[in-house]
Homo-oligomer: A and B are copies of this chain.
Amino acid sequence: MLLIAIFLFLGHVSSANSAFTLRSPNPMRFMTEPPKLTSGYVYETRYIDVLLDHFSFADDRTFKLKFLISTEFHEPHGPVLFYTGNEGPVETFAENTGFMWEHAEELKAALVFAEHRFYGSSLPFGNETFKDVEHFGYMTAEQALADFVSVIEYLQLTNENFTDAPVIALGGSYGGILAAWFRNKYPNLVAGAIAASAPVWMFPNMSSCGEFNRIATDTFVASGSEECRQNIATVWNSIQEVSKGPAGLQFLYRTFILCKPLVSVQPLIDYLVDFVGLLAMVNYPYEASFVGEFPAEPVKYFCRNLNAFSSKDQPVDVVLRTASAVRSVTNYTKQQKCIMIDDDLPGLGVKAWDIQTCMEMTIPMCATGVKDMFPPMDWDAEVFSEACFKKYGVRPRMGWSDKQFWGKRLQTASKIVFSNGDLDPWSGFGVQRQEDVPQCHVIRIPNGAHHLDLRASNSLDPADVIDARKQELDFIKTWIREWKAT
């Protein structure tokens, strides 16, 4: 399987019948190979020294931060479209943010894609980077934003074409959160921001923890069918039932064609919960290659293959058909030998995001099995904190992002587009109402999945995403004009 989900930071947690969540959301779950560079976009790769800790003078260590740059269409002092990199190698975002590439010429803009510290090649301590909290503890959003400041500062100091250049921040998902925060915290540097599918309110005490799973369920009804939803709802108990039989785990291992035998049933259920959520996120109208090889409208595709069974089937039949439907997607291009469901997947980013959720980026997630089609999952802050401490020797600061990054009080936030696709489960943690952000712009994309608007144009794009992109471009032009006027 080549299902790269770095762009999406999928985050499911724990699962069937467990009282509490011990697993943290992990965006890198489906990334098993480095990003493919197939777009043909041309950019330079550069590295600059940035401070490990921008906010004290006690430590003057630096490390190499990577950024990509294209100045092909940049006119002197013209705008900079600045991608605020998220939890993965920055090339992936350069490859998959066609929106920036398509408008560089018209805007006479430079394109910059800055890597997020602790991802890709921007590892402060090389092989030791994730050794312990004294190393990975600098992996915070405040520091990452200050890295972005350093990139801008570097460009301004070394190339006079960047003097006074209006910077437009763009990002999707966690990168979208960072784009919004970048504008909020540094409006002196950032003229405006496109925060695409940014779940800025995914943090503790900001939203209902069940929103993700509720919306994923709605998407399966809307793009699949009510029958599909009901079928998925029966999967969890069926798998549990089968696992209890003699050689049950062995049967599941063989049926799903897993890469490693199961020691318990839970990892399989966790994987499938994540997988189903992922399908809703990437429910694009065309074959998508940026998260591996997905069929067009993967929800519909999956449901079609799953609906061959009815809820009256025996558990073993449900399992057989579920496995077949899952494989129909994961092995869509016939390249997949087996399914890897381990938490310890290759790729440092897997671990990096997991650690971030144990520091600043905690995402409460739950399911009821009533409003949604998932196995019931509770979420408990203390249990989560304890699990983090056990795993990494660090505890989350759960109230901090609310204070540091303004939480729900966004009245003063300005010149940010908050765009969300209604199909995208993450939209439940996004800004959806204009009145919450009077100086920003809320764009809803009824037929959009996870930040579809940032992707390159496609003949199968729904009208609403075409319109969203047009609005975003207009806002960017306005922000540039207003920046130059002051």
Contact = CB atoms under 8 A, between A and B. Distances in A.
Interface of A: 53-59, 133-140, 142-143, 146, 149, 152-153, 185-189, 359, 394, 397, 399, 402-404, 406-407, 409-412, 414, 486
A409 B152 CA distance: 16
A434 to B, nearest CB: 14
Nearest to A486: B411
27 contacts: A53-B53, A53-B55, A53-B56, A53-B58, A55-B55, A55-B142, A57-B133, A57-B138, A57-B140, A57-B359, A57-B397, A58-B133, A58-B136, A58-B137, A58-B138, A59-B134, A59-B137, A149-B404, A152-B403, A186-B406, A187-B406, A187-B411, A187-B412, A188-B407, A188-B409, A411-B486, A412-B412
B135 A58 contact: yes
Contacts of A133: 57-58
Nearest to A360: B57
B153 A399 contact: yes
A57 B411 contact: no
Contacts of A139: 57
Contact of A56 (B137, B409, B410): B137
A343 B359 CA distance: 43
Contact of A57 (B137, B152, B404): B137
A163 to B, nearest CB: 13
Given A409-B187, A412-B414, A56 B403 contact: no
A403 B137 contact: no
A394 B406 CA distance: 33
A153 B403 contact: yes
A28 to B, nearest CB: 20
Contact of A143 (B56, B143, B152): B56
Nearest to A53: B56
Contact of A55 (B143, B186, B188, B412): B143
Contacts of A399: 153
A403 B58 contact: no
Nearest to A153: B403
Contacts of A411: 187, 486
B188 A406 contact: yes
A143 B53 CA distance: 12
A134 B189 contact: no
Given A55-B143, A187-B406, A412-B414, 5 more contacts: A53-B55, A56-B143, A57-B397, A153-B403, A188-B409
Contacts of A136: 57-58
Q: Max chain B CB contacts within 10 Å: which of A57, A188, A406, A407?
A: A57
